[in-house]
């Protein structure tokens, strides 16, 4: 199953993606599916380009390790 098919991905938004990625606002113990959905969303929307460098480094690591899929728009 693709990460983009997960319910967690379908309901993702910038706030939730950042909260999951950084572990705040009730997302301190997010599931693996939620975490993958958050990083896939950050990559797909290029949200990482608007945030601190940490996000870009993690996105590139996850892409290189093939943990998340390449963004649909490049």
Whether residue 37 contacts residue 6, with contact meaning beta carbons closer than 8 Å, is answered with yes
Whether residue 26 contacts residue 39, with contact meaning beta carbons closer than 8 Å, is answered with no
The answer to whether residue 34 is domain-embedded is yes
Spatial separation of the C-alpha atoms in residues 59 and 9, rounded to whole Å: 16
- The whole domain housing 15 covers 3-64
Name the band, by pLDDT with cuts 50, 70 and 90, for residue 74.
low
The answer to whether residue 69 is domain-embedded is no
The answer to whether residue 72 is domain-embedded is no
pTM above 0.85, yes or no: yes
Domain count within the chain: 1
The answer to whether residue 73 is domain-embedded is no
Task: Read off the pLDDT of each residue in 22-27 and give the average, rounded to a whole number.
Answer: 93
Residues 6+ apart with CB under 8 A from 46: 71, 73
């Amino acid at each position: 199953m693709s990460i983009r098919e997960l319910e967690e991905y379908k309901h993702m938004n910038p706030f939730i993606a950042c909260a999951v990625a950084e572990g705040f606002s009730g997302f301190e113990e997010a599931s693996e599916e939620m975490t993958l959905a958050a990083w896939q969303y950050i990559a797909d929307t290029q949200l990482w380009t608007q945030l601190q460098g940490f996000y870009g480094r993690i996105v590139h690591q996850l892409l290189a390790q093939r943990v998340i899929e390449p963004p649909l728009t490049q």
